[in-house]
Structure 1
């Protein structure tokens, strides 16, 4: 259908069109999620799909909808700098919304959600295109949208201690993997929020999280050969790691809140994460280790709550 047709749907209440089947409309809108024109995907496809999702239009079709979108995570995977990243990125964003609906309404099986988790984590650590904004094509944002997808998985009742530990490792892999891109469109905040969402589950103790933080801290220290730097430092990945740890520290210190449109977030974010004081100190240890010449050493006394 033409852009004018879909604009009329937007302007008349975003209702499901009555002149064609839901299946036909959905297939076309899902295809539009990868459109290089930002008006088509950001002003038509994404808002219509998320509106119908929130209205329960897809409640009996939720698993099938996600199964139709999930292959988009593999579309052009390995490419960097072309338009294929848009389909991968918006497939991730839409899957996050579908999982959000399931987290509120409990509509899908564990097998379905765990299967999407495997696809999501496999895609995320292999994504090469980290561009946030693309001139004339708008937001690509694969790193940020992937963080949103991991946060949605972290909320899932189907994810227990083992699966949440895997998500932590995937986030570390993503942050530490060498790249030519320096994140500058809020990717560090979105990834830190994914970790905060995971920590709010209170399923992982400090014996898991602190070694994970130490692994990230190792990524801040320059490699040396015979006392000399091997290359310019910090590398983009080290800079991204530093920004991520600082974002995580700030979110732990200030506290974060859930999404207003997700009922399940009211309970999840009602209290601060367990072991918050210890985790604050552990994050600070890694930040201090990046520039030990700069920061005063401190004791491991707990900060004031």
Structure 2
């Protein structure tokens, strides 16, 4: 089926994403959703994701169709596919990570011409929170299978949804501790995940008070429990990378006070280094 689907999708991409007259959009959408988590990187990323994004941006889907796609990907068969039962390095992550990557273009369409109710936007946010709490596969690029990059994709979704007026201070303050828990882990991030997440954090910071920003940043200061456990060095490195990315992003704009906070935190983290 994957070879057949490539044969169907490749001409669409080659023809500037024009849907052939004899092709049913609904049938094509169903086929792409069925294979959204394919381990074939060209099919999954270059064709299915690319075509979905372009079709959404160019208005091929009605608002009702976009709602249906969004509803489909937020369930246990997509965003939460085998999230609790799969092993950390199982192929199920591709279905989850490329489902979450469909959220940004749909939300961007909503921001330009609102079609989602407040409750529907907040449902997306709540599902992103649950997803961030549960995702345990932190791989970036997987040999022969391409990008998994679940946390980076989630960061993109958080960024776009956080920009919605429906997401307020309350929702942001619920998400930030979850982001912290995903970065203070003993698995290294190697593919700029922190940069993608900082983009989301900068949006969220606009919706909370200065004191709340500082309080959250201080939770990123990790105090090691052992000087012999190398896993703690990975946690410290993850914290440093996130704080540094935030610091350099704050060089532009009125963030002088926060930059000072970040400098102090980074100095304190150096005291936790084992070398």
TM over 0.5: yes
Q: Following TM superposition, by how much is the alpha carbon of 1:117 offset from its aligned partner in structure 2, in angstroms?
A: 1.1
Aligned to 2:25, which of 13, 19, 22? 22
Q: Following TM superposition, by how much is the alpha carbon of 1:144 offset from its aligned partner in structure 2, in angstroms?
A: 0.6
1:182 matches 2:188? yes
Aligned to 2:144, which of 112, 119, 136? 136
The residue number in structure 1 matching 2:225 is 223
State the distance in 2 between where 1:190 and 1:293 align.
26
Question: Gapped runs of 5+ residues in structure 1?
Answer: 256-271, 295-305
Aligned to 2:119, which of 111, 123, 128? 111
Residues 36, 95 of structure 2: 8 Å contact kept: yes
Q: Following TM superposition, by how much is the alpha carbon of 1:107 offset from its aligned partner in structure 2, in angstroms?
A: 1.8
The residue number in structure 2 matching 1:198 is 204
What does 1:82-121 correspond to in 2, within 5 Å? 82-121=90-129
State the distance in 2 between where 1:31 and 1:280 align.
46
Alignment RMSD: 1.9
After TM superposition, which residue ranges in structure 1, 4 or more long, deviate above 3 angstroms? none
State the distance in 1 between where 2:24 and 2:7 align.
18
State the distance in 1 between where 2:179 and 2:138 align.
14
State the distance in 1 between where 2:272 and 2:164 align.
42
How does the TM-score come out when normalised to structure 1? 0.82
Deviations 1:225-256 (A, max 9, x none): xxxx3623643222211111111111111x3x
State the distance in 2 between where 1:293 and 1:65 align.
46
Q: Following TM superposition, by how much is the alpha carbon of 1:11 offset from its aligned partner in structure 2, in angstroms?
A: 1.4
Residues 236, 272 of structure 2: 8 Å contact kept: no
The residue number in structure 1 matching 2:69 is 65
Aligned to 2:156, which of 114, 126, 148? 148
Deviations 1:129-150 (A, max 9, x none): 1110111100000011011111
Q: Which moved more, 1:284-293 or 1:110-119?
A: 284-293
Residues 194, 241 of structure 2: 8 Å contact kept: yes
Residues 144, 191 of structure 1: 8 Å contact kept: yes
What does 1:201-212 correspond to in 2, within 5 Å? 202-212=206-216
Question: Gapped runs of 5+ residues in structure 2?
Answer: none
State the distance in 1 between where 2:5 and 2:102 align.
22
Residues 62, 108 of structure 1: 8 Å contact kept: no
Residues 223, 230 of structure 1: 8 Å contact kept: no
State the distance in 1 between where 2:21 and 2:272 align.
67
What does 1:39-58 correspond to in 2, within 5 Å? 39-58=42-61
